[in-house]
A = this chain, B = another copy of it.
Amino acid sequence: MAADRTEISKATLNRLPAYLRYLYELDKKGVQTVSSTMIAAGLDLNPVQVRKDIAFVATSPGKPKLGYVTKELIADLENFLGYHNTRDAILVGAGGLGHAILGYDGFAKYGLNVTCAFDVDPAVIGTSINGKPVYDMSRLPELVKRFNIRLGIITVPSGSAQEVADLMVSAGIKAIWSFAAKHLNLPAGIALKHEDLAASLALLRMQLVSQD
């Protein structure tokens, strides 16, 4: 494997999943080879950009006049994005959104397995959502350590988000996927992905207003 001479850019990283989705579609239609031009047209992007992005992940080069072998490129992307090694995760906050995530099995395709959830509400503790048990928050450190979980999902109100994050980190969690509308302060080395639905909604709404 060649050493990464230049670090892969964040912008590129964000596009890779879109490429993969598009390739799945083409593959399903029986398209054998795919060119960067085709991908660019399908996703409203610049062909050169697509080529550069692909250059990071592809193991075999594309052929002039043909492009890349669809199945190979899919394999390379899946491999790069780590869809093949399944990863266990826990979720804290079994309310509205947390409930929805627990009930959704689609993440399994991306190698995510939410094993169980935690909450403070006695009404949900002890119950099971989509086969996943809901435990009392106090058991989080114990279970995270026992099963060596590294990924935590936060779907609690913003007021308790930092507290939950701190607990996760101290228990050994290394990556946090947060849906709380709150900036989290984490020690270095902990990966964080903040999903701020309200914020992105606000931006969309703004575009709308400015059209009037």
Contact = CB atoms under 8 A, between A and B. Distances in A.
Interface in A142-160: 150-151, 158
Question: Which size bracket describes the interface of A in this complex?
Answer: 35 or more
Interface of A: 13-14, 17-18, 21-22, 42-44, 80-83, 85, 87, 96-97, 99-100, 103-104, 106-107, 109-112, 150-151, 158, 174-175, 177, 181-183, 185, 189, 191-193, 195-209, 211
| Number of copies of chain A assembled together | 2
B112 A201 contact: yes
A106 B97 CA distance: 12
B104 A205 contact: no
A103, A158, A199 — most chain B CB neighbours (10 Å) = A199
Contacts of A13: 203, 206
